Every structure is written in C-alpha cells, then in structure tokens.
Amino acid sequence: MDQQAKSLEVQSVELTFPSGWRRSHDCGSLRLDHSGQNVVLMGWVQRRRDHGGLIFVDLRDREGITQIVFDPQADAAAHEAAHALRSEYVIAVQGTVRQRPEGMANPKLKTGDIEVLVYALKILNVAKTPPFLIEDDTEVSESVRLKYRYLDLRRPVMQAHLRLRHRAAFLTRNYFAERGFIEVETPVLTKSTPEGARDYLVPSRVNPGKFYALPQSPQLFKQLLMVAGLERYMQIVKCFRDEDLRADRQPEFTQLDLEMSFIEEEDIYELIEGWLSILFKDLLGLELSTPFLRLSYRDALNRYGTDRPDLRFGLELTDLTDLVKGCDFRVFREAVERGGLVKSLRLADGARLSRKDLDDLVHYAQEFGAKGMAWAKLQPDGWQSPIAKFLDPSLRDAIVDRMQGRPGDILFFMADHPTVVHETLGNVRTRLAQQLDLIPKGQYRFCWITHFPLLEWNPDEKRYVAVHHPFTSPLEEDMDFLESDPLKVRSRAYDLVLNGTEIGGGSIRIHREDVQKKIFGVLGIGDQEARDKFGFLLDALQYGAPPHGGIAFGFDRLIMLMTGATSIRDVIAFPKTQKATCLMSGAPSEPDVNQLLELCIRVDKEGR
C-alpha cells in the first residue's frame, strides 16, 4: 500500500457503511432521461484519469460502469479526497446526473451518454494494486486467476457466467415444479453407489472404522423415492467422483437429476426437449427444433463411428464391406475374412489436402489402434492413391459410385475390427471438420442415442458388466437373449448428445425384483454381494415398486456449452485444479493430529 493510501486509511476510510446512504441506482442504469437527478452510486474504481483540473473515475459495480466527475467547483472536499483514489478502491458517491459534453459520449457503454458530477464522497475501502487487470481480456495464467479467484470473479465475463448459471438453474426449477416435480434433497453422507468410479470416503468418528461415501449420483435414492410413491422427483445436486482428473473433470460436479413413475421413454424425451427449448430460448434467444433427432446406438456407430456424434456437419461413414469382400487387395479382404469392416469417409473438395496433411492424419489414425489408413484423391483422370494399384478398376468405380465421389474429393479407408474402424474414422471425421473449419458457429444440434447394448464383456474381470448401471431395464423383446446371448440384449437406456458431447443420460429402470435378481446373476453379482450392496433396493422392489425411469444431466458441462466457455472451471465459482486442489484456500491440507486420533485413522504412505 502506498504512503498516501496508508495515511488515508487512518484518516478517512469508513469503518462501517455510512448510515443513511442508500444506493439509488446501479452503475449500469443511468441514461440521459436521468439528467438533473441526484443519485447515490456505490462500487469499485475501475480507473481514474485527471484532466483539466477535473478527476474522472470509471465506477464499476456488477451492473456496469458509470463515469463520475470530481470538480473542485462542485465540491472542493470531494475533489481533494478523490486524489487518493486508486484502482479497486470501494467508494460511495452522491452526485447529479448530467449529459456528457458534446463529443465526449462513449457509445461502448450503456451509460455512455451521461456522467455524474459528485458532491459527496465516502471511501469505503482501499485496495492494493491487483495482480491482474479486472477486465474481460486479462492476460494472466489460470493458476494466478484461481489463486485470486475473488478478483478473477470480478471480471464481467466471469460474473456473466455465474449469472447465466444461476438463471439456468432457476428456469430449470421453475420448469419442473410447474410439471409437478418435487425437489427432494438426498444425503451427501451415504453408502457406496455402483457408478463404477472411485468413491470419496468420510471416516465416521461416532462409528470408528466405518466410513461414509460421498454420492457419485443419487441413483438409488431417486429410485427409492419412486418406490415411496413420490412419482416425480428432481434435484440439482452435487455429486462426487474420485477419478484421475483427465481433461475437464472436477472432483465435485453438479447434476440435474430426475426420476418419474408410470412413464416410458417418450415421456422423458418430450419433457427434456421442452426444458432445453426454454433454456435456450431464454438464455441464448435460440429456438430449438423439436423433437430432437433420434439415433439408435447401432446407427450412430455405423454412420458416425461414435455414440456421441457431432451433427453440425456431415462426413458420414459409408460401409464398403460387401463391395470389397473377396477382392484382390489383401488388407481389405483379410479384414473382412476376420469379421471386420471396411468403411470409407468422403471429404468433398478434400483433394486440396497436402501430402503432409495426409501423413499427419494417418499418424493421428494410428493413435486409435489403426494399423494404417488408406486414402484416394479423386482426380478427373482417376485415383491418385497408394492403394489404387491393388484395386480393380471396376471395384474402384463401384466404390466411387457408392461414395458419390466427384473429382476433387478425397476418400479415406479403414479396414479392421469394427471397434477400431469406428473409433478411428469417428475421430478422423471430427478432426477433419475442425481442421477445415466445417463446423458452423452458434449451432446446437441435439440427438438422442437409444437402444444401447445392456452389457459388455470385461476381459480383465472376465465377466459381463453393465454399459450404464445394473438397474437399467433390458428391452422386453430382447429378454430371451439374457441367457442365450447376453451381448445381444439391448437396454432401455438413452443419452442426449449435443454437438458431439454427451450432456445427459438415463434409462427406464428395472421395477421387478425377479428381473433385478436375474440381471445381478448375469453380471456375476452373487446373492450375498447383491444383498450387501443393494439389499435395501431389492427389499424396496418387493413392496410395490412402480414402473419408473429418469435421466441426469451434467449441469456444469451444459452451462459451459451455453456460455461458450472453454473449460468447466470457468462456470464454477471455486473450482479445483487437475490435481484436485484449490489454489485459493489450499485445500486439501494436513489435518490436525488430534482430528485423526478422534477418527481412529492414521496416515500410512508406505502402505501403498
């Protein structure tokens, strides 16, 4: 703190809020109409300029910025005191609104036509020079922003994120309350849930040696609320997963969680489409077109190589397996013989890609386990392609025909196990769209993915595991495959995908105890294990559980997509780093020895 500020602190900084001063307006609301009015404003000094014997201050509060002027003619004491003002000082002023002088209006500010001539000033607090400018485009590392989060959140862009998030939650609660949903708080200190990620544990002092788990989701509780006859439950709720923090995850995250009784899939789809339509209309001014597209898991994989397709652009995959079966080209032929697929992707006007671009793409493809990726540039005079010579001209023509290829296009080919073909071409598809800027801005393309497989084979554990969770209902028409061919059983699960990101997922649940037991059996969960882990759910299913289903949305991610933020950390007030630490508070931290003693636990770093 500089000397001037120090002396000021003693002399004239208010100890308490000046009694009787009441804010008349915020800093975003004054217009020419207010000219001549006496006003009281409060806020932070954005900047101070001294010019022609006057002192100009941009005063900022959460609603905007207003220019205030200190003129010794208007009030000598206020003008004198204003010399002490620095950036981020907190002040209250009384003054008169007036039109700015000819040519001095600032069209970038909502209040740019006026200024306030001050006749009384109170300094409410002083401020050190902040470590970065309180402006939207501040050049500073994220770690400094996180350490000084209380300053970072002063930036208008961050305040806008928090306000949009608030309004989204508010609209969400309104929407569901209007439709008879009851928000019920489920416990945070609870028992392990079966979501599959690691639980955060909480030692119990009263029950030494026992631990609570923080919920990965309220899945069991919301099903129990259906058994309890609540019929329509919703909650915006914190959930916890102790995952290795890849990419853009947080140890605690927020979920919109809901569950309904006496419904089927269409009821959920309609409800959610109505909800998102209201959010997007109110917050972004966009009309969503409903119903959203629906794609079966199988179709999504076949056409886009992924169950999270980005539908803002085409570049669909085409199956060539039947065409190339038994052809001379060994790579294609053998892939088909081994039960694999041969698929292709056509990039219109892709012939402009350089040889280096193509090499990079092939390397990229190899990251997903592909042995290689072939390509062919379609020239007016035929194929330019390393594999052209292996393919009969008639086969080449048949391929171009099916691909609807034109001169100037480029075709990419993958021949491998279906999983590898889809994952690779799916990612190549997205990468091409990004690289060539094929993704239109400001578009939101939703799609429901349905009819997921119920089970997948886990080679490590040598057993079937649930693709979603063990309470997901199988499709009635596939029930007979449960014993004969479990991988063929489709589930009644559904995901909602937005622009290539899964934003929500849910299912119709099993409501019959006998079916739930049968599924546990297929999953290799023995009677004892089922009883230990989910005994209370199995009990509940015996006492008259209604048919029910639900869905959950990652609220942070949805808000991120709606604000255009690049990280969920930018839409969370106090987020953690990838190492799960809070740079501001220093959490987690070393506990007091006595605390651990009381909890009957010891730290033992050797044991690991």
Residue (168 or 411) nearer to its own copies, CB: 168
Nearby residues of 138 by Cβ (< 8 Å), 6 or more positions away:
132, 155
- What is the Cα–Cα distance from 214 to 234, expressed in whole angstroms? 19
Binding flag, residue 196, its own copies (CB under 8 A) = no
Residue (17 or 457) nearer to its own copies, CB: 17
Burial class of residue 334, CB neighbours in 10 A (0-12, 13-18, 19+): exposed
Residue 229 is classified by DSSP as T
Binding flag, residue 278, its own copies (CB under 8 A) = no
CA distances in angstroms from 302 to 89, 299, 380, 467, listed in the order given:
60, 5, 30, 19
- What is the Cα–Cα distance from 437 to 364, expressed in whole angstroms? 18
Query: From the list 93, 268, 489, 545, which residue makes contact with its own copies (rule: CB under 8 A)?
Result: 545
Nearby residues of 542 by Cβ (< 8 Å), 6 or more positions away:
513
Residue (176 or 446) nearer to its own copies, CB: 176
Shortest CB 93 distance to its own copies, Å = 12
Residue (334 or 529) nearer to its own copies, CB: 529
- The pair of structure tokens assigned to 297 is 């898991």
Residues of this chain, 549-578, that bind its own copies according to CB under 8 A: 572-574, 576
Binding flag, residue 526, its own copies (CB under 8 A) = no
Q: Which helix (H) or strand (E) holds 605?
A: none
Query: From the list 153, 286, 348, 395, which residue makes contact with its own copies (rule: CB under 8 A)?
Result: 153
Nearby residues of 103 by Cβ (< 8 Å), 6 or more positions away:
none
Query: From the list 133, 362, 395, 582, which residue makes contact with its own copies (rule: CB under 8 A)?
Result: 582
- The pair of structure tokens assigned to 346 is 């056509």
Shortest CB 31 distance to its own copies, Å = 19
Residue 546 is classified by DSSP as P
Binding region for its own copies (CB under 8 A) out of 196-204, 353-361, 368-376, 415-423: 196-204
Binding flag, residue 479, its own copies (CB under 8 A) = yes
DSSP sequence for 371-408? S--EEEEEETTEEE-TTGGGS-HHHHHHHHHHHT--TT
Residues of this chain, 207-226, that bind its own copies according to CB under 8 A: 207-214, 220-221, 224-225
Residue (52 or 544) nearer to its own copies, CB: 544
Residues of this chain, 353-412, that bind its own copies according to CB under 8 A: none
Residues of this chain, 88-117, that bind its own copies according to CB under 8 A: 88-90, 92
DSSP three-state, residue 497:
strand
Residue (457 or 536) nearer to its own copies, CB: 536
Residue (438 or 601) nearer to its own copies, CB: 601
Query: From the list 47, 98, 100, 173, which residue makes contact with its own copies (rule: CB under 8 A)?
Result: 173
In the shown chain, the binding pattern of residues 235 to 264 toward its own copies, with x for contact by CB under 8 A and - for none, equals ---x-x-x-xx-----xx-x-------xxx
Count of other CB atoms within 10 angstroms of residue 407: 13
Residue (215 or 309) nearer to its own copies, CB: 215
- What is the Cα–Cα distance from 239 to 193, expressed in whole angstroms? 11
Binding flag, residue 229, its own copies (CB under 8 A) = yes
Residue type, 599: L
Residue (253 or 304) nearer to its own copies, CB: 253
Query: From the list 142, 195, 231, 299, which residue makes contact with its own copies (rule: CB under 8 A)?
Result: 231
Shortest CB 500 distance to its own copies, Å = 26
Between helix 527-541 and helix 219-227 the angle, nearest 10°, is 40
Query: From the list 81, 126, 320, 324, which residue makes contact with its own copies (rule: CB under 8 A)?
Result: 126
Binding flag, residue 160, its own copies (CB under 8 A) = no
Query: From the list 104, 160, 182, 293, which residue makes contact with its own copies (rule: CB under 8 A)?
Result: 182
Residue (15 or 462) nearer to its own copies, CB: 15
Nearby residues of 373 by Cβ (< 8 Å), 6 or more positions away:
361, 362, 365, 366, 412, 413, 414, 424, 428
Binding flag, residue 28, its own copies (CB under 8 A) = no
Length of the chain: 608
Shortest CB 14 distance to its own copies, Å = 7
Do the Cβ atoms of 117 and 96 come closer than 8 Å?
yes
Residues of this chain, 411-450, that bind its own copies according to CB under 8 A: none
Binding flag, residue 607, its own copies (CB under 8 A) = yes
Query: From the list 77, 140, 201, 487, which residue makes contact with its own copies (rule: CB under 8 A)?
Result: 201
- What is the Cα–Cα distance from 288 to 274, expressed in whole angstroms? 9
Known binding site for L-aspartate: residues? 195, 241, 468, 509
Binding flag, residue 132, its own copies (CB under 8 A) = no
Residues that bind its own copies (rule: CB under 8 A) add up to a total of 135
Shortest CB 562 distance to its own copies, Å = 16
- What is the Cα–Cα distance from 412 to 346, expressed in whole angstroms? 7
Binding flag, residue 473, its own copies (CB under 8 A) = yes
Known binding site: residues? 195, 241-243, 250, 468, 502, 509, 554-557
Shortest CB 533 distance to its own copies, Å = 10
Residues of this chain, 293-352, that bind its own copies according to CB under 8 A: none
Residue type, 425: L
- What is the Cα–Cα distance from 175 to 178, expressed in whole angstroms? 5
Binding flag, residue 230, its own copies (CB under 8 A) = yes
Residues of this chain, 34-93, that bind its own copies according to CB under 8 A: 42, 44, 60-62, 88-90, 92
Longest dimension (CA), the chain: 96
Nearby residues of 6 by Cβ (< 8 Å), 6 or more positions away:
none
Binding flag, residue 177, its own copies (CB under 8 A) = yes
- What is the Cα–Cα distance from 201 to 191, expressed in whole angstroms? 9
Shortest CB 245 distance to its own copies, Å = 7
CA distances in angstroms from 182 to 64, 75, 268, 433, listed in the order given:
37, 57, 16, 43
**Half-sphere exposure in the Cβ direction for 35 (13 Å, CA):** 9
Binding flag, residue 150, its own copies (CB under 8 A) = yes
Residue (63 or 299) nearer to its own copies, CB: 63
Binding flag, residue 463, its own copies (CB under 8 A) = no
Query: Phi-psi region for residue 433, left (φ > 0), alpha (ψ -120 to 50) or beta?
Result: alpha
Query: From the list 56, 119, 132, 148, which residue makes contact with its own copies (rule: CB under 8 A)?
Result: 148
Residue (403 or 596) nearer to its own copies, CB: 596
